[in-house]
Amino acid sequence: MRKRVGTAAVLAALLTLVPSAGVVTGQAGMKQSIGKGEGALSIIAWAGYVERGETDKNYDWVTAFEKQTGCKVSVKTAATSDEMVALMNEGGFDLVTASGDASNRLISGKRVQEVNTKLVTSWKNVDPRLQNAPWHTVNGKHYGVPYQWGPNVLMYNTNVFKTPPKSWDVVFTEQTLPDGKSNKGRVQAYDGPIYVADAALYLMSHKPEVGIKDPYALDRKQFDAALNLLRQQRKIVQRYWHDAFIQVDDFINEGVVASSSWPFQVNLLQSKKQPIASTIPAEGATGWADTTMLHAESRHPNCAYMWLEHSISPKLQGDLAAWFGSVPAVPAGCKNNALLGPEGCETNGFKNFDKIKYWKTPVANCGGGRECVPYYEWVTNYIAVIGGR
């Protein structure tokens, strides 16, 4: 279920779907009505995003949908945005829960179609901060329905860190941790080229002379500085993680004590009574705002539209936020949800929206007359870093 698409396939998809700034193409034939369900629906999703109670019976927003609509849901779990782009490029799927570093590539590459928000009756309940977000809205057209959002957190072992780490330096630079042991071989980093932005964010605070203002818009000098930091980090990394469940196992069984992560892994580890907590260090955090997008050649568009409406129901939104540790795209999901609790959205960072540097695809023409390093170079260079080059 969590099998990765091969690196060559991912890279091939990326090189054909990297957008140029300001050049985005739309889709003709936006759906005007919803007919009878086709009986099936296939979704590419992040781990933990489409649950049917198999892991925990309390978290199930698929079974009732299937009974109500007759649309049998199948899920392909993807580990990175690049894998999602590759899978959408291959075709055969209806929906994808795309983050901002994939969504504009999918729009530019004509892999997704414009969504008729008039057919999504609960659209009006979506958080106004998300309704016209640039990662799914182009020239006033919406190419998806917001799903959830949140930060990439620093997850840590509380037996090692009695107080939360104040800086991301615990995963970027070799040092002695509070338990008196080196962090070498005990930290992880994310296995995705977009992680270059995490290094850039760190440099914004620690090397302001480099002049980084936007961690996704790096000129050659700034990009090289981020790569140098990542090469330094390579010497201490135990694993570059892409599978959330493998990372959970690494924290339990492989001696890993600190890493960038998602709230989902934090919640899973805490549910297993592990000494785990998370924090957003002083430098801030990158993050994700995910959108459910409809494939341009969806074979089950009626079921897909039914799911788009279902996906922003307050009950689903609150349950998912409780399960993943994310923030609902629908504020009503924060209220009266037994699983999330009255303070759940506050705990998950509802008020931190403007503090997160959301994933987006780096482009060459990054504005203001600046020439920046495009995403395909992030891909090739990050692969080289991971490979020790």
pLDDT of residue 341: 95
How many Å apart are CA 82 and CA 79, to the nearest integer? 8
What confidence category does residue 137 fall into, taking pLDDT thresholds of 50, 70 and 90? very high
Lowest pLDDT segment from 25-39, 102-116, 155-169, 250-264? 25-39
pLDDT of residue 23: 36
If DSSP codes are grouped into helix, strand and coil, which group holds residue 110?
coil
pLDDT of residue 6: 42
pLDDT for 9 beyond 70: no
Fold classification of 7-150+288-354 (topology level): D-Maltodextrin-Binding Protein; domain 2 (3.40.190)
pLDDT of residue 355: 87
Lowest pLDDT segment from 15-19, 41-45, 143-147? 15-19
pLDDT of residue 5: 40
7 or 198, higher pLDDT: 198
pLDDT for 27 beyond 50: no
pLDDT of residue 389: 72
pLDDT mean over 273-291: 96
C-beta of residue 61 within 8 angstroms of C-beta of residue 324: no
DSSP-derived letter for residue 369 is T
What confidence category does residue 368 fall into, taking pLDDT thresholds of 50, 70 and 90? confident
229 or 55, higher pLDDT: 229
pLDDT of residue 382: 97
pLDDT for 19 beyond 90: no
If DSSP codes are grouped into helix, strand and coil, which group holds residue 142?
strand
From the number of C-beta atoms within 10 Å of its C-beta (0-12, 13-18, 19+), residue 83 rates as buried
How many Å apart are CA 291 and CA 278, to the nearest integer? 25
**Cα–Cα–Cα angle for 58, 60, 61, nearest 5°?**
140
pLDDT for 243 beyond 90: yes
**Average pLDDT along the chain:** 92
pLDDT for 367 beyond 50: yes
Evaluate if pTM is beyond 0.95: no
pLDDT for 28 beyond 70: no
Phi and psi, residue 345, nearest 5°: -70, -35
CA distance readout (Å), 123 to 50, 140, 149, 321, 373: 20, 15, 16, 18, 36
pLDDT of residue 340: 96
For the chain, give the percent of residues with pLDDT over 70: 93
Structure tokens at 303: 């079921």
**Cα–Cα–Cα angle for 76, 134, 112, nearest 5°?**
40
Give the residue extent of every domain in the chain.
7-150+288-354, 151-286+362-386
- CATH assignment, 151-286+362-386: 3.40.190.10
The residues near 182 (Cβ < 8 Å, ≥ 6 apart) are 174, 175, 176, 236
